[in-house]
Amino acid sequence: MLTRKEKEVMDITGKDKICDNLCSLTEKVESVREKMVSSEKLLELSELFKVLGDHTRIRILYALFQSELCVCDLSEILGMTQSAISHQLRVLRSAKVVKYRREGKKVYYNLDDAHIFSLLDIGMIHVNE
């Protein structure tokens, strides 16, 4: 895409391309464009990673990786207020990253499925290199 200034320059010079390789390699660019997953799907994917991309939420998930826990436990383990934890659990719930069950006054949380485990594992491997 062109900036406003670039467009003005192109209007003046009469050029119709951004950079030289677009002439010879339009096929390559077109090929990639065709094989691109829909922007909506990629938006969903980025939303998933965005949910995982927070220190507090990752710590919550790693704690839940060890054991089912209630909000109060998580508050104690992470050393954060119940409110802060609860707000983040809401984000994790909305993204279907955790599931929960009520037992009396308490609400116990778990990781939602095996994919979450895999993502955490592979991510950790990458980080540890």
Partner DNA sequence: TTAACATATGAACATATGCTCACACGTAAA
Partner DNA sequence: TTTACGTGTGAGCATATGTTCATATGTTAA
Q: Which residues contribute to the site for a second copy (CB under 8 A)?
A: 1-3, 18-19, 21-22, 25, 28-29, 31-33, 35-37, 39, 41-55, 57-59, 62-63, 66-67, 69-70, 72-73, 75-84, 106, 113, 115-116, 118-120, 122-128
How far apart are the C-alpha atoms of 98 and 116, rounded to whole Å?
Answer: 9
Measured CA angle at 75 (ends 50, 99), to 5 deg: 55
The three-state secondary structure class of 102 is strand
**Would you give the DSSP letter of residue 25?**
T
Can you give the binding site for DNA, defined by CB under 7 A?
A: 1, 3-5, 15, 18-21, 50, 53-57, 70-72, 75, 80-84, 86-91, 100, 102, 104-107
